[in-house]
């Protein structure tokens, strides 16, 4: 998360008009430790004493919602569970586990592991609804196989063990994202079906307890050196809150030992503070909207569990930062399932509706509640309100689904969203509607979590559909998170809407950043100005590269002016623009992008530039569903040999 602060918060707090102010990035305040302070003020270990009462109330709520489920959903889930009765549980072999080490493939193992858990969740949901016991034997098959797995840690993450990336060492238990996910799934299974499992075999629940103790509680309490905990400094990301939220939930559902449960709760609180402390006041998530569900989304689950299990003693409903972390998600929304997708985020995603809705409930924010209901409809376009993807999600859908159905489904389509700490801006020409031109841009730096070298990048949408794009990230492999990350084409600045200067691209690292970032709201339009020269290494020989975006909604127009100063001229600079649309460059000074939504025309001075286009083939399982089999890079090649100059290009929706 970018750690900056701005006058924007002062302006909001005082209610002053934004129209006459230029807003410039400054510094962030010291860590606040909101969670730990609340824990101490609530009495620490005395805050959550009667977990059994909380569990009983939760069971009653779940039972009531199961009984009230409409016949259509009930029968659909039971039919899926019936199909799962014939499921043949695939093996997780050593050979498949080692594929990540040997050739970088992580998908083959993950697909098997994830499918096991999804099928188990489907069976449990079916049993809860039918309550006849016929799914129990297959449920136990699934549970037993998961309990027998040598590790719940993915091959891509096992490198945290002392023996490195190899088969899992039985003498060292490490905790990753999916060890936490598995722990939560097992604790829900036990919580929901404890007596039924005992009737089938008295060993199953004992084995669940044993494996949770061995794989989760013991390493979690004994070790503080896992990087994601944040206790030894360094940058934390969604790993922190995702794992902590799942382990907190596991302890609340599974542990009967009050002292141990409180130790787990306290450690999850102290560790989660490292995640919250990394956020600046604007609540922006530098991992992007498609990661928000496992960042801000997991935070609200943790907050909700703390609040409910403490009987309201741990109340964060007045916390402005945490509210802002929730509100971030609708500020990055374009239309439907399209979101601003800087860094590794995808241009298409549906954030978890239940988490968005939880934010709305906790902060009494009608926009977030309505947006949660809107996302719920996107998740179930055929009208099915509950689909089984994971057991924890099923329970949340169960508990919140009917309330979401009664809430007006509506996206805010906010006209202006400036996140000064994250240095991300989104604007739309017709607030309250996806119609017209949508623009988003970023400053920031090249050491974000899930970073791409993309300082100064921007996107444009017409009537909610992409025109000038950020391609996003391909399928994760070993290379994605290795020293060779930036050899991947879609990580490089030349494949973003950024310039290549003297033949040199942007560099990764915290020092490579935007400077002098200023957002100026104006009556006729809004202006974002930033200098991206520092995002390039010394060999680029650039001392200034000031980008100024002028967004003029009344004219459906974006103007990009670049003023530059070079220390030396080596070769022409090249301004790159990525698109998923057909490109027509037949007329000098105009590049026409055509879609069913209309035309976006890029105008430039042909005396200043020549234009080139290059088709980039896509054969990737993550990118192809979004962009098809190719994207196109438009490049304006400068004709100037001057060391200083300026030029303007414009994008107009016709």
Task: List domains and CATH numbers for the chain.
Answer: 34-40+51-405 (1.50.10.100), 414-653 (2.70.98.70)
- Least confident span in 71-85, 378-392, 471-485, 640-654: 378-392
pLDDT at 524: 85
Q: What is the mean pLDDT of residues 298-317?
A: 97
Q: What is the pLDDT of residues 25-62, one digit of tens each?
A: 334 457 899 999 999 999 998 998 788 999 999 999 99
Q: What is the pLDDT of residues 133-167, one digit of tens each?
A: 999 999 999 999 999 999 999 999 999 999 999 99
Is the separation of the CB atoms in 267 and 216 below 8 Å? no
Cα–Cα distance between 631 and 618 in angstroms, integer? Answer: 7
pLDDT at 234: 86
Angle, alpha carbons 91-93-97 (nearest 5°): 125
The number of residues in the chain equals 654
**Residue that is written with structure tokens 């988003």 in the block:** 440
Q: What is the pLDDT of residues 436-477, one digit of tens each?
A: 999 999 999 999 989 999 999 999 999 999 999 999 999 999
Is the separation of the CB atoms in 613 and 583 below 8 Å? yes
Contact partners, residue 111, CB within 8 Å, separation at least 6? none
Cα–Cα distance between 333 and 147 in angstroms, integer? Answer: 40
pTM to 2 decimals?
0.92
Is the separation of the CB atoms in 581 and 601 below 8 Å? no
- Split at pLDDT 50, 70, 90, the class of 3 is very low
Q: What is the mean pLDDT of the chain?
A: 93
Fill in the DSSP letter of residue 590.
E
What are the respective helix, strand and coil percentages of the chain, to the nearest 5?
45, 20, 35
Of 219, 96, 77, 238, nearest to 154 (Cα)?
96
| Residue 17 scores a pLDDT above 70 | no
- Least confident span in 162-171, 240-249, 338-347, 569-578: 338-347
| Residue 523 scores a pLDDT above 90 | no
Q: What is the pLDDT of residues 173-218, one digit of tens each?
A: 999 999 999 999 999 999 999 999 999 999 999 999 999 999 999 9
| Residue 522 scores a pLDDT above 80 | yes
pLDDT at 21: 30
Is the separation of the CB atoms in 83 and 56 below 8 Å? no
Cα–Cα distance between 137 and 149 in angstroms, integer? Answer: 19
Is the separation of the CB atoms in 331 and 417 below 8 Å? yes
Q: What is the mean pLDDT of residues 226-236?
A: 94
DSSP state string for 453-519? S-TT-EEEEETTEEEE---------GGGGSTTGGGSGGGSGGGTT-EEBTTB----EEEEE-EEEEE
- 23: three-class secondary structure by DSSP: strand
**Residue that is written with structure tokens 């017709």 in the block:** 430
- What stretches of 316-428 adopt beta strand conformation (E)? 333-335, 338-339, 416-419, 424-428
């Amino acid at each position: 998360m970018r750690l900056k602060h701005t006058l924007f918060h002062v302006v909001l707090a005082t209610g002053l008009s934004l129209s006459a102010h230029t807003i410039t990035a400054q510094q962030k305040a010291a860590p606040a430790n909101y969670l730990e302070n609340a824990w101490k003020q609530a009495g620490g270990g005395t805050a959550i004493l009667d977990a059994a009462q909380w569990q009983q109330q939760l069971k009653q709520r779940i039972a009531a919602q199961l009984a009230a489920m409409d016949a259509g959903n009930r029968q659909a889930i039971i039919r899926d569970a019936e199909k799962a009765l014939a499921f043949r549980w695939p093996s997780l072999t050593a050979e498949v586990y080692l594929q990540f080490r040997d050739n970088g493939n992580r998908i083959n193992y993950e697909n098997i592991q994830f499918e096991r858990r999804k099928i188990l969740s489907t069976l449990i949901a079916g049993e809860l609804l039918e309550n006849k016991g016929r799914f129990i034997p297959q449920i136990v098959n699934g549970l037993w196989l998961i309990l027998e797995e040598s590790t719940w840690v993915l091959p891509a993450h096992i490198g945290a063990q002392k023996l490195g990336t190899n088969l899992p060492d039985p003498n060292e238990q490490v905790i990753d994202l999916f060890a936490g996910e598995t722990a939560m799934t097992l604790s829900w299974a036990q919580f929901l079906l404890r007596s039924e499992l005992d009737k089938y075999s008295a060993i199953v629940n004992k084995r669940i307890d044993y494996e949770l103790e061995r794989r989760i509680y013991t390493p979690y309490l004994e070790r503080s050196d896992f990087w994601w905990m944040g206790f030894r400094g360094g940058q934390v990301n969604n790993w922190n809150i995702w794992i902590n939220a799942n382990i907190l939930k596991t302890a609340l559902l599974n542990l009967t030992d009050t002292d141990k449960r409180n130790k787990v709760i306290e450690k999850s609180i102290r560790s989660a503070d490292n995640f919250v402390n990394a956020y600046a006041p604007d609540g922006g998530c530098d991992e992007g909207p498609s990661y928000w569900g496992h960042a801000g989304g997991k935070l609200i689950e943790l907050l909700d569990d703390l609040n409910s299990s403490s009987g309201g003693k741990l109340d964060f409903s007045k916390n402005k930062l945490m509210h802002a972390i929730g509100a971030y998600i609708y500020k990055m929304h374009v239309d439907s399932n399209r979101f601003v997708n800087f860094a590794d985020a995808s241009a298409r995603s549906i954030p978890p509706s239940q988490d968005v809705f939880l934010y709305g409930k906790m902060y009494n924010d009608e926009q977030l509640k309505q947006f949660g209901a809107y996302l719920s409809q996107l998740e179930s376009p055929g009208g099915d309100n509950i689909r089984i993807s994971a057991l924890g999600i099923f329970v949340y859908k169960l508990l919140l689904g009917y309330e979401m159905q009664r809430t007006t489904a509506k996206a805010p389509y906010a006209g202006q969203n400036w996140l000064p700490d994250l240095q991300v801006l989104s604007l739309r020409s017709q607030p309250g509607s996806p119609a017209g031109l949508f623009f988003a841009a970023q400053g920031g730096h090249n050491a974000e979590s899930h970073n791409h070298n993309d300082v100064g990048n921007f996107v444009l949408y017409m009537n909610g559909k992409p025109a000038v794009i950020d391609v996003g990230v391909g399928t994760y492999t070993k290379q994605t998170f290795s020293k060779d990350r930036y050899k991947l084409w879609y990580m490089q600045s030349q494949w973003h809407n950024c310039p290549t200067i003297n033949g040199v691209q942007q560099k990764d690292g915290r020092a490579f950043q935007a400077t002098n970032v200023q957002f100026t709201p104006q009556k006729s339009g809004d202006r974002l100005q930033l200098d991206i020269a520092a995002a390039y290494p010394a060999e680029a020989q650039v001392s200034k590269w000031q980008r100024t975006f002028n967004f003029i909604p009344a004219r459906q127009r974006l103007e990009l002016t670049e003023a530059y100063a070079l220390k030396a001229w080596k070769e022409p600079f090249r301004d790159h623009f990525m698109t998923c649309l057909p490109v027509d460059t037949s007329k000098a000074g105009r590049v026409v992008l055509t879609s069913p939504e209309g035309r976006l025309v890029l105008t430039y001075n042909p005396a200043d530039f020549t234009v080139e286009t290059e088709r980039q083939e896509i054969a990737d399982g993550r990118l192809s569903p979004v962009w098809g089999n190719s994207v196109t890079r438009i490049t304006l090649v400068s004709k100037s040999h001057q060391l200083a100059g300026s030029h303007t290009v414009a994008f107009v929706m016709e």
